[in-house]
């Protein structure tokens, strides 16, 4: 039996569903029941009828699934798969920001720990960050942890944003020079980038989208596209748009944490039912409030 057959067999035996982020390895995306961005994956986690959710992503994503599904077993195939940006802020930092800006609401990008979500009023993803900020009652918003997404939101809202200084190391390495060089290498192609990129990169891109936004946009244009986000998404872009050209903005835009899951770790995860992600109940209840409010706002 092949490793894929093993996974399908184990999935059936365990009554499991496999969710994979758009940045996962191609072969992991291919065995998933659903591939998507953080917002879509959160929705699927809520809707999942299965008893076990195997979350192929990084730890904060599996935590969110566990927060939303206390009665299900949520497994992260590779326990060390974490997000450096999520580790750039602590609950204590959020508390300090609240003291500095007592009349502001706290909007927390889902790329954060359960404990930070629990200290926040509402979560957002890159696909609904502007909508979530605009839905806040206060005209002042503390936005954590991503300074680049905060800067992007500030361009599209009249509310005053107080950003934290976190960032995604994978997107931060993309420079204006990469945009200009890629345009020279592929004349006629459009550059689309993720809002986790630096503001100066966002300013000269032809479009700014979440990963699912990029997938939707690709279907509306016949142009070649230069992709300014983690390279894993190119697998899905090519699969859904055969014969089209999608070029990575640079060969270095790879998130090592997203690449830690493999077919082997997915199989072993289902076989040994590890690694189970658990969130302490007091934190889970508070974090769920912030995630539920985000899901109510929608995409």
Told to check if 84 binds ligand SF4 by CB under 6 A, we report yes
> What is the spatial order of strands in the sheet that 140-144 belongs to?
122-124, 105-109, 140-144, 160-163
- How many whole angstroms from its chain centre is CA 109? 9
Q: Which residues contact 19 (CB under 8 A, 6 or more apart)?
A: 32, 33, 34, 35, 36, 41, 44, 45, 48, 53, 54, 55, 56, 57, 65
Q: Give the total of residues touching ligand SF4 (CB under 6 A).
A: 13
Candidates 53, 153, 193, 255; binder of ligand SF4 (CB under 6 A) is 255
User: Please, are residues 196 and 171 in contact by the beta-carbon 8 Å criterion?
Assistant: yes
Complete DSSP assignment for 222-258: -S-EEEES-TTHHHHHHHHSTT--EEES-TT---TTT
Candidates 230, 232, 235, 261; binder of ligand SF4 (CB under 6 A) is 230
- How many whole angstroms from its chain centre is CA 122? 16
Taking the least distance from each CB to ligand SF4, the nearer of 10 and 152 is 152
Taking the least distance from each CB to ligand SF4, the nearer of 81 and 291 is 81
Residue 161 carries which DSSP code? Answer: E
* Angle at which helices 263-272 and 3-14 cross, to 10°: 30
Q: Report d(CA 251, CA 267) in Å as an integer.
A: 29
Told to check if 79 binds ligand SF4 by CB under 6 A, we report no
Taking the least distance from each CB to ligand SF4, the nearer of 74 and 168 is 168
Candidates 22, 24, 257, 275; binder of ligand SF4 (CB under 6 A) is 257
Taking the least distance from each CB to ligand SF4, the nearer of 120 and 211 is 211
Q: How far is the CB of 126 from ligand SF4 (least distance, A)?
A: 9
Q: How far is the CB of 226 from ligand SF4 (least distance, A)?
A: 18
Q: Report d(CA 36, CA 40) in Å as an integer.
A: 6
Taking the least distance from each CB to ligand SF4, the nearer of 14 and 125 is 125
Candidates 16, 75, 201, 258; binder of ligand SF4 (CB under 6 A) is 258
Which backbone phi and psi does 134 adopt, to 5 degrees?
-65, -25
Told to check if 83 binds ligand SF4 by CB under 6 A, we report yes
Taking the least distance from each CB to ligand SF4, the nearer of 159 and 210 is 210
Q: How far is the CB of 109 from ligand SF4 (least distance, A)?
A: 9
Taking the least distance from each CB to ligand SF4, the nearer of 10 and 250 is 250
Q: Compute the C-alpha angle 275/281/282, nearest 5°.
A: 135
Q: How far is the CB of 105 from ligand SF4 (least distance, A)?
A: 23
* 12, burial (CB in 10 Å: exposed 0-12, middle 13-18, buried 19+): exposed
Using CA atoms of 65, 290, 37, 207 in order, give the dihedral in degrees to the nearest 10.
-170
Taking the least distance from each CB to ligand SF4, the nearer of 50 and 173 is 173
List binders of ligand SF4 among 121-180 (CB under 6 A). Answer: 168-170
Candidates 7, 85, 201, 287; binder of ligand SF4 (CB under 6 A) is 85
Q: How far is the CB of 230 from ligand SF4 (least distance, A)?
A: 5
Q: Give me the residues that bind ligand SF4 (CB under 6 A), please.
A: 23, 58, 83-85, 111, 168-170, 230, 255, 257-258
């Amino acid at each position: 039996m092949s490793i894929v057959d093993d996974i399908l067999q184990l999935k059936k035996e365990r009554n499991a569903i496999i969710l994979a982020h758009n940045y996962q390895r191609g072969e992991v995306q291919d065995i998933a029941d659903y591939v998507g961005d953080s917002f879509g994956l959160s929705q699927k986690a809520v809707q999942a009828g299965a008893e076990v959710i195997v979350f192929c992503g990084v730890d904060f994503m599996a935590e969110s699934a566990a927060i939303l599904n206390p009665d299900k077993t949520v497994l992260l195939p590779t326990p060390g798969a974490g997000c450096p940006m999520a580790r750039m802020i602590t609950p204590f930092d959020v508390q300090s920001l609240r003291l500095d800006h007592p009349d502001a609401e706290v909007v927390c990008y889902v790329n954060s720990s359960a404990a930070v979500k629990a200290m926040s009023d509402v979560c957002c993803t890159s696909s609904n960050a502007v909508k979530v900020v605009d839905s806040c009652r206060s005209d002042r918003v503390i936005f954590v942890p991503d300074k680049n997404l905060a800067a992007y939101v500030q361009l599209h809202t009249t509310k005053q944003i107080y950003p934290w200084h976190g960032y995604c190391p994978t997107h931060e390495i993309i420079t204006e020079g990469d945009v200009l060089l890629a345009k020279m290498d592929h004349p006629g192609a459009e550059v689309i980038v993720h809002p986790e990129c630096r503001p100066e990169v966002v300013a000269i891109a032809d479009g700014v989208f979440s990963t699912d936004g990029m997938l939707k946009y690709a279907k509306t244009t016949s142009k070649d596209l230069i992709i300014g986000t983690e390279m894993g998404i190119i697998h899905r872009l090519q699969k859904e748009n055969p014969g089209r050209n999608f070029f990575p903005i640079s060969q270095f835009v790879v998130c090592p944490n997203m690449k830690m899951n493999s077919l082997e770790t997915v199989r072993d995860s289902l076989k040994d039912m590890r690694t189970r992600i658990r969130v302490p109940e007091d934190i889970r209840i508070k974090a769920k409030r912030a995630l539920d409010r985000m899901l109510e706002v929608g995409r």
